[in-house]
C-alpha cells in the first residue's frame, strides 16, 4: 500500500487505528517526491527536516492519548505566495528570491495548529499572474497526466503536487481562476471560497479585492475537512468576514433531489472545446438523473468580465507591487549610481515580463485622464456582473459550467500569445468579480486529460457546493482516476 496515494480522511482512519504513524505517512510522501519530482517539478522549496519533526510530534501526541484533529499528521503543500516564518517565500519571482518572512500567514498557522505537516512550498506563476505556471521566475512545472503539458496556473505546483501524490492536499490562491483551472487540468478538487471566508493575512497580494486562498484535495470529503481548518474570522485581515463558520462536513450528503441548478448559456458558448462540452453535458445528465432540476439561464454581462478583470486586477497589482523597491525586500542591484537608479534597475531585473506588462497596464488605467474611462468603468461593470449572479441566485441554488474552455495545453503553446492565455479564465473570472464561492471537480477525461466541472454558489454557501460535488462524486468514478506517472 502506497500511503501517498490515499486521501487525508483515509490516512486519518489508519492513523487513529494505529495501523500507520504520521512519520510513516510523511516518509511515504517524501519517497514519492524522490520518485517523481524530477519529472513534475512541483516544488520550489522542500522542508523535509521540519516535516519529519512535526510528524514525530504528532505521533507523540497520539501515543500519549491526546486528542488530535481530523487532519493531524497529514502532509500538505503550500503555494509559495503564502508567508511561512523562517522559510523562503518567493512568489516564484526573482525579486523575492531571498525573502524569508518574519511571520506566518493565518491560513498556514491554522494548518500548523491543526497538526498538519508542511512538506514544502510550491511553484506558481510569478506573483500569481498566469494560467500555466510558465511565468514562474525559476522553473516549469509539468502536468502529471502528460509531462509535455502545463499543470495550469497560477497555482500549478500545488495542483500537480496533489495529482502526483507528492502531497495529500495543498493550498493555492485564486484571483481569477488560479485554483479551479489547475485543479481541472490536473484532475483534482479545487475550491475558491467566498471572498472574506479565509483570511488573506500573509498571502502576498496580487489583486487584493479578488485574491482568495483555497485548498486542492483528492476528494470532496477532504475539501470539507480543509475548509473547516482554514475558514474563519481573523482580525488581522480587514476584509475577513466576521460570521460563524459551519462544520462543512455536515454537507457531505449524498442527495440533491429537488435542487435547482442553472446553466448560464454564456458559459457554454463558442470557444469551449466541443469535447469538453460533451463531458459537461454528461455531468448535467447525471445530476438530472440524481434528482436535480437543471435548466438554462443567462448571465448577460459575462462578456465584459474579462476586460473588467484585466483592468481591476492590473490596477491593484500596480499598486501592490510598488513595495518591491530593492529597499524593503528581496533583490537589490549593487552597482547603482543613486537611489532612483537602484529602484529602477532592481525592479527591472527582479520582475519578469508578464509582471511588468501588468504593472504598466495598471499604472496606465489608474492615471489621470484614464481613470474614469477605464478603471472606474470597470468597477461599474463589476457591479453589473455581481447583479447578474444575485438575480440568478433568486432562482437557482447553484450555477454550473465548465471550469476551463479546454484541457491542459502543451508547454510553450501559448507563451507568446497573452490574450489567448487570458481567455483561459473566461469561466472562472466572473466568480472572483462577484466574490462568490466556486468549486472544480473532475468530470471525466478527454484524450486522457482531465476535464473540470465548475459549480458556483451564493456567497457563504460553500455548503451547497460541497453537497452537490459530494453527490456527483459518490455516483461517478471520475474522482478515483489518477495519472500513471
**Residue ranges that bind ligand GLN, judged by CB under 6 A:** 128-131, 154, 174-178, 206, 313, 425
What is the spatial distance between Cα 485 and Cα 469, in angstroms, rounded to a whole number?
27
3-class SS letters over 92-134: CCHHHCCCCCCCCCHHHHHHHHCCCEEEEEECCCHHHCCCCCC
Catalytic entry in 93, 158, 178, 240? 178
7 vs 141, beta carbon nearer ligand GLN:
141
Least Å from the CB of residue 432 to ligand GLN: 7
What is the spatial distance between Cα 81 and Cα 100, in angstroms, rounded to a whole number?
12
What is the spatial distance between Cα 364 and Cα 371, in angstroms, rounded to a whole number?
8
What is the spatial distance between Cα 293 and Cα 55, in angstroms, rounded to a whole number?
46
Catalytic entry in 21, 42, 131, 154? 154
In the residue annotation, 178 being an active-site residue is answered as: yes
206 vs 460, beta carbon nearer ligand GLN:
206
Contact between 331 and 349 (Cβ < 8 Å) = yes
Angle at 43 (CA atoms; ends 40, 47), nearest 5 degrees? 135
Q: Which residue has the cell 489621470?
A: 368
Contact between 308 and 381 (Cβ < 8 Å) = yes
Least Å from the CB of residue 318 to ligand GLN: 13
Neighbouring CB atoms inside 10 A of 237's CB total: 18
* CA 65 to chain CA centroid, nearest Å: 35
175 vs 403, beta carbon nearer ligand GLN:
175
422 vs 472, beta carbon nearer ligand GLN:
422
What is the spatial distance between Cα 65 and Cα 70, in angstroms, rounded to a whole number?
15
Q: Which residue has the cell 509535455?
A: 148
Instruction: Classify 299 as helix, strand or coil.
Output: coil
Q: Which one, of 437, 473, 462, 428, lies nearest residue 152 by Cα?
A: 428
In the residue annotation, 17 being an active-site residue is answered as: no
What is the spatial distance between Cα 330 and Cα 320, in angstroms, rounded to a whole number?
15
51 vs 317, beta carbon nearer ligand GLN:
317
C-alpha dihedral (287, 306, 237, 199), degrees to nearest 10: 30
Catalytic residue IDs:
79, 154, 178
Amino acid at each position: 500500500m502506497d500511503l501517498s496515494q490515499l486521501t487525508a480522511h483515509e490516512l486519518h482512519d489508519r492513523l487513529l487505528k494505529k495501523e500507520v504513524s504520521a512519520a510513516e505517512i510523511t516518509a511515504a510522501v517524501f519517497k514519492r517526491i524522490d520518485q517523481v519530482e524530477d519529472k513534475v517539478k512541483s516544488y520550489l522549496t522542500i522542508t523535509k527536516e521540519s516535516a519529519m519533526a512535526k510528524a514525530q510530534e504528532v505521533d507523540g501526541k497520539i501515543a500519549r492519548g491526546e486528542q488530535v484533529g481530523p487532519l493531524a499528521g497529514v502532509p500538505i503543500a503550500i503555494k509559495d505566495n503564502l508567508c511561512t516564518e523562517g522559510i523562503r517565500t518567493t512568489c516564484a519571482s526573482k525579486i523575492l528570491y531571498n525573502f524569508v518572512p518574519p511571520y506566518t500567514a493565518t491560513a498556514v498557522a491554522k494548518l500548523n495548529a491543526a497538526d498538519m505537516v508542511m512538506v514544502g512550498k510550491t511553484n506558481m506563476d510569478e506573483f500569481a499572474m498566469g494560467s500555466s505556471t510558465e511565468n514562474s521566475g525559476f522553473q516549469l512545472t509539468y502536468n502529471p497526466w502528460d509531462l509535455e503539458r502545463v499543470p495550469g496556473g497560477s497555482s500549478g505546483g500545488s495542483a500537480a503536487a496533489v495529482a502526483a501524490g507528492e502531497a495529500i492536499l495543498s493550498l493555492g490562491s485564486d484571483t481569477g481562476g488560479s485554483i479551479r483551472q489547475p485543479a481541472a487540468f490536473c484532475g483534482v478538487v479545487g475550491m475558491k471560497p467566498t471572498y472574506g471566508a479565509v483570511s488573506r493575512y500573509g498571502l502576498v497580494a496580487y489583486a487584493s479585492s479578488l485574491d482568495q486562498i483555497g485548498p486542492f484535495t483528492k476528494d470532496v470529503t477532504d475539501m470539507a475537512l480543509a475548509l473547516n481548518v482554514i475558514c474563519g474570522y481573523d482580525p488581522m485581515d480587514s476584509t475577513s468576514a466576521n460570521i460563524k463558520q459551519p462544520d462543512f462536513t455536515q454537507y457531505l450528503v449524498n442527495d440533491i433531489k429537488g435542487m435547482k441548478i442553472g446553466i448560464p448559456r454564456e458559459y457554454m458558448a463558442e470557444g469551449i472545446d466541443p469535447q469538453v462540452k460533451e463531458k459537461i453535458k454528461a455531468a448535467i445528465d447525471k445530476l438530472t438523473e440524481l434528482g436535480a432540476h437543471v435548466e438554462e439561464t443567462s448571465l448577460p454581462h459575462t462578456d465584459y468580465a474579462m476586460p473588467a478583470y484585466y483592468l481591476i486586477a492590473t490596477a491593484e497589482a500596480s499598486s501592490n507591487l510598488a513595495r518591491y523597491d530593492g529597499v524593503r525586500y528581496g533583490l537589490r542591484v549593487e552597482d547603482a549610481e543613486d537611489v532612483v537608479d537602484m529602484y529602477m534597475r532592481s525592479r527591472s531585473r527582479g520582475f519578469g515580463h508578464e509582471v511588468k506588462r501588468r504593472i504598466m497596464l495598471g499604472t496606465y488605467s489608474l492615471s489621470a485622464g484614464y481613470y474614469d474611462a477605464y478603471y472606474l468603468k470597470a468597477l461599474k461593470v463589476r457591479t453589473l456582473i455581481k447583479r447578474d449572479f444575485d438575480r440568478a441566485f433568486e432562482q437557482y441554488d447553484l450555477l454550473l459550467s465548465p471550469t476551463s474552455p479546454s484541457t491542459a495545453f502543451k508547454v510553450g503553446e501559448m507563451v507568446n500569445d497573452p490574450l489567448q492565455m487570458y481567455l483561459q479564465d473566461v469561466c472562472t473570472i466572473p466568480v472572483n468579480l462577484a466574490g462568490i464561492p466556486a468549486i472544480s471537480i473532475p468530470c471525466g477525461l478527454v484524450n486522457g486529460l482531465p476535464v473540470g466541472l465548475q459549480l458556483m454558489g451564493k456567497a457563504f454557501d460553500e455548503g451547497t457546493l460541497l453537497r452537490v460535488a459530494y453527490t456527483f462524486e459518490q455516483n461517478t468514478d471520475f474522482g478515483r482516476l489518477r495519472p500513471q506517472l
